[in-house]
Structure 1
Amino acid sequence: MSKSSSGNASGRKASALNKKVGEFVSQQKGNTYNYRQVSHAIGASTAAQQRNVALLLVEMAFNGDIIEVSPGKYKSPQRGNEAVGTFVRRNNGKNSVVTDNDGETLMIAERNSMHALNGDKVRVNIAAHRRGAEPEAEVIEIIEKKEQTFIGTLKVERHFGYLLTDSKFLATDIFIPKSKLKGGKTGDKAVVRISEWKQDFKNPSGEVIDILGEAGENNAEIHAILAEFGLPYKYPSSVETAANKIEAGITDEEVAKRMDMRDVLTFTIDPADAKDFDDALSFRVLPNGRYEVGVHIADVTHYVKPDGIIDKEAQKRATSVYLVDRVVPMLPEHLCNGICSLRPDEEKLAFSVIFEMDAQARVYNSMIARTVIKSNRRFSYEEAQSVIETGMGDCVEAILALDSMAKQLRKERYEEGSVEFDRAEVKFEISPDGTPLGVFFKVSKDANKLIEEFMLLANKTVASYVGKPKDKKKPKAFVYRIHDVPDAQRLADFSAIARGFGYKVKSSGTPREINRSINRMLAEVKG
């Protein structure tokens, strides 16, 4: 066949593919789809055909014919003349609105923004779409304004001040009347709320909410980072007061309701600089020669009651936030670093999963119980690692037995298809005043993995108890923290790249087979 006729045949195939994909897309209305669903619908069964479908969808999304609502997932735009959505402001002038109807991103020039701010709910008029150009719109109404606070450095003149913002969401400074400066002076780091932005004014007006300290001072800069991301940098005094009134409450009456494990060898293993010890392990040899292993966490629910002032504050925070020089806790310090920290030589109320196991890490029995415990020893990871490596030190029999069982649990987990996400963690050495002194890689060793394996075992046991109950009980809804299966196209691309370097990664098969091949590759490239 001549080159000309060969090219014509390829062109006809591409044209036929375009037509089939176009017909499929036109029938979907509000449905979402990916390249695999399109390929299946039009009968594109080979890898080459499916790759062409994937490339065509990318091209259609680039041209604005369809919308990529999430990586690899598309939708046909349902455009009218108007739409409602969330405004996204950028300090580089590239403003946009994400529509509520189908998640389409429409570009908005500053002159057409009505000074809408990031997060505002707006109504827009959509311009006629031009092929190959980004879809554009004009704000015609700000339906709901989101309260806006910005972080920056104050500059105070004789009769007024303004905030030089650090924000990626605002390109202009914020004008502040002298009466709204709250005592702030030039050079102070401050949190400012925008109160209005008149249509014909270049700058918005605002008021100071809080003075964080002098710009460049470590505490002020850390608080600025937290405030920028909407994270609380201090507790309301009412919450602190409520927390400080709570007592440990380990009375004879409370102990009688619980499994008393105060006489069982118990210890914690945490980073050397940890202040709250939130989990512990207990260990003893049973009369039948097996081991009893307890995994314990503080029983926070004994102290924090649903819908109380502390619970509501914890819900707002959702999690503790870890920064290079501090932890911003979900609970007030009196609870997280005091009553609910499993410190040595202190009796603590705990929630526990207790296992009967043998030296090969086989589990014969398990139970979930409220307990009272007393930690005998606080280990740092380095101290526990020294016991593992030298076979000498405190709690040596328990640590060596637990380490051996953890390695067996890990081996079985990898054989079942768990992926080994083992990577070095960057840590900073910080002086007392917050000055960075150095940086180093924290490598996860056996002591770290010992804790991880038993926490995983406890988590799986609790998940099974809730989600797969015995005695014909009805399963309850539960939140599981798991990894989704990898995207097939990305996995195929990665497999091709790895093959180019001499490594083999399966791109098809069962999740277990794929994950085991990834583990083999990770082991081969280690270092």
Structure 2
Amino acid sequence: MITKIRFDIKLKTAILREQKKIRQSMDNKQGKAKTSHITGNITVTRRGVGYVPNEAFEEDIEIPNDYINTALNKDEVEIMLHPKVEGKRLQGEVIKIIERAKTQFVGTVEKQDGLSFLDPDDQRMYMDILLSPEEKAEDGMKVLVELTHWDNPKKNPEGKILQVLGRKGEHNVEMQSIVLSHGFETGFPEEVEKSAKVIGDKKEDTFKEEAQKRKDFRGITTMTIDPPDAKDFDDALSIKTLGNGNLEIGIHIADVSHYIKPGDAIDKEAQKRATSIYLVDRTIPMLPEVLSNDVCSLRPEEDRLAYSAVLEMSKEGEVKSHWFGKTIIRSDKRFSYEDAQKTIDAKSGEYYEELKTLDEVAKIIRKERFKKGSVAFEHDEVRFTLDENGKPTGVERKIMYDTNHLIEEYMLLANKEVAQYINKLNKKGLLFVYRIHDVPDPEKIQDLKIFVNAIGYDFNPKEGGVTTHDINNLFKQIEGKPVEDLIKISAIRSMSKAVYSTKNIGHFGLAFKYYTHFTSPIRRYPDLMVHRIMKSQLTGDEIPKEELSKYEKLTLTSTEQEIEATQAERDSIRYKQIEYMKEHIGEVFDGKITGVAEFGIFVEDVNTKSEGLVHVSKIGDDFYTLDKKTYSIKGERGGKSFTLGDKVKIKLLDADLDKKTLDFVIV
């Protein structure tokens, strides 16, 4: 069924006439006098209404659909402000598209009255795309389309099919659609694959040649600890006891920068991708698999080149000294988090003593980190069991082991030590890539305060601004309570987004003055930049000036790509949740209320973490209204109420894969 805006040829004249009336009406209310022109990136809603931020105004400038011209979500636009109308939001109109953020769209082919349209998967693409009559794709096929022409907002945009993905609803087709929808490629250009193969073919010769030039850790106990299905092993840990009783802990990171040179074909492709993407069933790597899963990956019982942070530490977790440099390592054992945990819990097994010591020190570091103000932002994740056709047959929460925290602590420590080292060099004009996290917006914290207080918990930051200790104290109050997840999610949403930058402001959430990303160059481009900068300072490996000049812009694009990759992962999870629930329509689940609105209650199945809506009309034999002060809806006659965090029994009525929605009823 066609649900988005579409202009039927027969109705075209009537619609244009109606739009003219609307425009004239708005002109009369607002006037057309120019006040000023500004530029910015527009955010477009599903309804086709736009918002453009500007520091000169408290609120984003609203662009009504009739004034949005042909602007699409995230486009850079020039807008003309309309005169301010008392009591109404400041509005404007798009007068120029400076740069398109996106020109390719994935969607489903739909035929109507002899015409072919693309119904885009992207809900913010508020117009269907008219396809050329020459296009032969069948109705119901998923395709990738290039926007070719759109200069009239009163007509549908036009496009051509670049790729036919397959039949809508098929597992591989839907996963590929998600990747392409977020602007990522699923394969690599031929030149990139060829370059990677050359590196792979020479790897043994490279190891022999480099072994003479590097610090050799092959005789020291070394291991990797990763998810059970991991193939790209970025990091390994080595450990030995020194003569003075201290520990030497090596945090060894794949030396990707040895193989990929600034400006080469692989590097350009990695810059464009900026990150690997992790969907429910696959990884779309930043680097070709011969590098990500073989040459660079720190695989067990194979020599590998690493760039290492080697720390002398007391058994109380204090860093006494550090060394950074090129190494060659040989991992003795590849552990999964679960296997490593079992060894620690059993107090015996292969490398038990090393694991035990690493775990003990990690726990001390972790405790001290939280004591100094790091925020414990943890949330539940789910894992799917898929059959041979990719259909979900089971879904469960991922288990977080102490060994997950073990690896986390050493990675955080290495990242911090590297950033602190660069700062201590104190070289004028030295460019570096930081991972920064700004303090929260006071208005968002005030909203969080009102919300938390309304549901009965204490959260009263001082006027000087919220601290990480305020956040942690709140988390201690709600630990184990029904509202724990809800408040944590709300707290996370009130925080600023962590980003990459060449300008350091510290990391609020970690309570670190200096922080970077150093530990995952196989899957994150900023880490590769950090390795190159470190090498330029320690061993004189020069970065060409033309490449260095791109670093500030690359921090911005890397942040943008990270956001897209995260959303792609969430989209794949959401798709599989709905696909799984579709087989359980009519069944009853243990639920929890996660949101309230005038139109109904948002609920979540606590086992699958699948969220859906109970429409207000399906709640019961009463008339329910929203009470914003108590975050609940209440029956006017019976007085029954449903409040945020309440546990409820819910029955699944419908699961819609097209709309990505679940409909429940309370039982």
Q: Name which of 454, 472, 476 aligns with 2:430.
A: 476
Residue 149 of structure 1 corresponds to 104
Residue 407 of structure 2 corresponds to 451
Tell me the alpha carbon deviations over residues 363-404 of structure 1, each in whole angstroms, 9 at most, x when there is no partner: 222211210000111000001111121211110010001111
Residue 135 of structure 1 corresponds to 90
Change (3 A) 1:400 1:117: closer
Kindly indicate whether the alpha-carbon contact (under 8 Å) linking 1:259 and 1:370 is maintained by their aligned counterparts in 2.
yes
Tell me the alpha carbon deviations over residues 244-299 of structure 1, each in whole angstroms, 9 at most, x when there is no partner: 11132434331111001111111100011112111111112223333221111100
Q: Would you say 1:209 and 2:162 are equivalent positions?
A: yes
Which sits farther off after the overlay, 435-444 or 325-334? 435-444
Change (3 A) 1:515 1:127: closer
Once residues 376 and 338 of structure 1 are traced to their aligned partners in structure 2, the CA distance between those partners, rounded to angstroms, is: 16
Residue 260 of structure 1 corresponds to 216
Q: Name which of 186, 190, 194 aligns with 1:241.
A: 194
Q: Which runs of 5+ in 1 are unaligned?
A: 1-78
Once residues 487 and 147 of structure 1 are traced to their aligned partners in structure 2, the CA distance between those partners, rounded to angstroms, is: 29
Tell me the alpha carbon deviations over residues 35-93 of structure 1, each in whole angstroms, 9 at most, x when there is no partner: xxxxxxxxxxxxxxxxxxxxxxxxxxxxxxxxxxxxxxxxxxxx725445555554424
User: Partner amino acid for 2:246?
Assistant: R
Change (3 A) 1:344 1:321: same
Residue 298 of structure 1 corresponds to 254
Once residues 87 and 343 of structure 2 are traced to their aligned partners in structure 1, the CA distance between those partners, rounded to angstroms, is: 65
Residue 49 of structure 2 corresponds to 94
Residue 534 of structure 2 corresponds to none
Q: Name which of 375, 381, 387 aligns with 2:343.
A: 387
Kindly indicate whether the alpha-carbon contact (under 8 Å) linking 1:506 and 1:514 is maintained by their aligned counterparts in 2.
no
Shift of 1:144: 5.2
Once residues 96 and 456 of structure 2 are traced to their aligned partners in structure 1, the CA distance between those partners, rounded to angstroms, is: 58
Residue 19 of structure 1 corresponds to none
Kindly indicate whether the alpha-carbon contact (under 8 Å) linking 1:297 and 1:352 is maintained by their aligned counterparts in 2.
yes
User: Partner amino acid for 2:125?
Assistant: L
Change (3 A) 1:509 1:90: closer
Kindly indicate whether the alpha-carbon contact (under 8 Å) linking 2:192 and 2:266 is maintained by their aligned counterparts in 1.
yes
Shift of 1:342: 0.7
Once residues 446 and 62 of structure 2 are traced to their aligned partners in structure 1, the CA distance between those partners, rounded to angstroms, is: 32
User: Partner amino acid for 2:342?
Assistant: S
Q: Name which of 157, 178, 183 aligns with 1:230.
A: 183
1:405-444 equivalent positions in 2, closer than 5 A: 405-444=361-400
Which sits farther off after the overlay, 268-277 or 165-174? 165-174
Once residues 411 and 171 of structure 1 are traced to their aligned partners in structure 2, the CA distance between those partners, rounded to angstroms, is: 49
Structure with the larger RCO, 1 or 2 (CA within 8 Å, 6+ apart): 2
Residue 513 of structure 2 corresponds to none
User: Partner amino acid for 1:208?
Assistant: I
Residue 3 of structure 1 corresponds to none
Shift of 1:314: 0.7
Is the partner of 2:206 in helix, strand or coil?
A: coil
User: Partner amino acid for 1:232?
Assistant: E
Change (3 A) 1:358 1:133: closer
Is the partner of 1:250 in helix, strand or coil?
A: helix
Kindly indicate whether the alpha-carbon contact (under 8 Å) linking 1:426 and 1:440 is maintained by their aligned counterparts in 2.
yes
Tell me the alpha carbon deviations over residues 507-526 of structure 1, each in whole angstroms, 9 at most, x when there is no partner: 23999x94345434433432
Q: Would you say 1:360 and 2:313 are equivalent positions?
A: no
Q: Would you say 1:194 and 2:150 are equivalent positions?
A: no
Change (3 A) 1:200 1:403: closer
Shift of 1:486: 3.8
Once residues 116 and 490 of structure 1 are traced to their aligned partners in structure 2, the CA distance between those partners, rounded to angstroms, is: 29
Which sits farther off after the overlay, 417-426 or 256-265? 417-426
Once residues 166 and 425 of structure 1 are traced to their aligned partners in structure 2, the CA distance between those partners, rounded to angstroms, is: 24
Residue 123 of structure 2 corresponds to 168
Is the partner of 2:127 in helix, strand or coil?
A: coil
Q: Rg bigger for which structure? A: 1
1:491-510 equivalent positions in 2, closer than 5 A: 491=445, 494=448, 507-508=461-462
Kindly indicate whether the alpha-carbon contact (under 8 Å) linking 1:250 and 1:349 is maintained by their aligned counterparts in 2.
no
Kindly indicate whether the alpha-carbon contact (under 8 Å) linking 2:308 and 2:324 is maintained by their aligned counterparts in 1.
yes
Kindly indicate whether the alpha-carbon contact (under 8 Å) linking 2:365 and 2:409 is maintained by their aligned counterparts in 1.
yes
Once residues 510 and 384 of structure 1 are traced to their aligned partners in structure 2, the CA distance between those partners, rounded to angstroms, is: 44
User: Partner amino acid for 2:92?
Assistant: A
Residue 271 of structure 1 corresponds to 227
Once residues 91 and 516 of structure 1 are traced to their aligned partners in structure 2, the CA distance between those partners, rounded to angstroms, is: 38
Once residues 82 and 431 of structure 1 are traced to their aligned partners in structure 2, the CA distance between those partners, rounded to angstroms, is: 56
Kindly indicate whether the alpha-carbon contact (under 8 Å) linking 2:49 and 2:68 is maintained by their aligned counterparts in 1.
no
Q: Name which of 478, 485, 488 aligns with 2:439.
A: 485
Shift of 1:500: 7.2
Is the partner of 1:468 in helix, strand or coil?
A: helix
Is the partner of 1:413 in helix, strand or coil?
A: helix
Change (3 A) 1:80 1:272: same
Which sits farther off after the overlay, 206-215 or 516-525? 516-525
Once residues 484 and 87 of structure 1 are traced to their aligned partners in structure 2, the CA distance between those partners, rounded to angstroms, is: 23
Kindly indicate whether the alpha-carbon contact (under 8 Å) linking 1:467 and 1:475 is maintained by their aligned counterparts in 2.
no
Q: Which runs of 5+ in 2 are unaligned?
A: 1-33, 481-667
Q: Would you say 1:341 and 2:318 are equivalent positions?
A: no
Is the partner of 2:250 in helix, strand or coil?
A: strand
User: Partner amino acid for 1:436?
Assistant: P
Kindly indicate whether the alpha-carbon contact (under 8 Å) linking 2:338 and 2:401 is maintained by their aligned counterparts in 1.
no
Count the aligned residue pairs: 444
Identity of aligned residues (%): 41
Tell me the alpha carbon deviations over residues 191-246 of structure 1, each in whole angstroms, 9 at most, x when there is no partner: 11122236386322211111122211111111111222212222222211211111
Kindly indicate whether the alpha-carbon contact (under 8 Å) linking 1:121 and 1:143 is maintained by their aligned counterparts in 2.
yes
Kindly indicate whether the alpha-carbon contact (under 8 Å) linking 2:207 and 2:303 is maintained by their aligned counterparts in 1.
no
Output the TM-score relative to the length of structure 1: 0.76
Once residues 161 and 337 of structure 2 are traced to their aligned partners in structure 1, the CA distance between those partners, rounded to angstroms, is: 44
Which sits farther off after the overlay, 237-246 or 304-313? 237-246
Is the partner of 2:211 in helix, strand or coil?
A: helix
Change (3 A) 1:464 1:325: same
Shift of 1:493: 6.3
Kindly indicate whether the alpha-carbon contact (under 8 Å) linking 1:191 and 1:212 is maintained by their aligned counterparts in 2.
yes
Is the partner of 2:90 in helix, strand or coil?
A: coil
Q: Would you say 1:322 and 2:275 are equivalent positions?
A: no
User: Partner amino acid for 1:280?
Assistant: A
User: Partner amino acid for 2:315?
Assistant: A
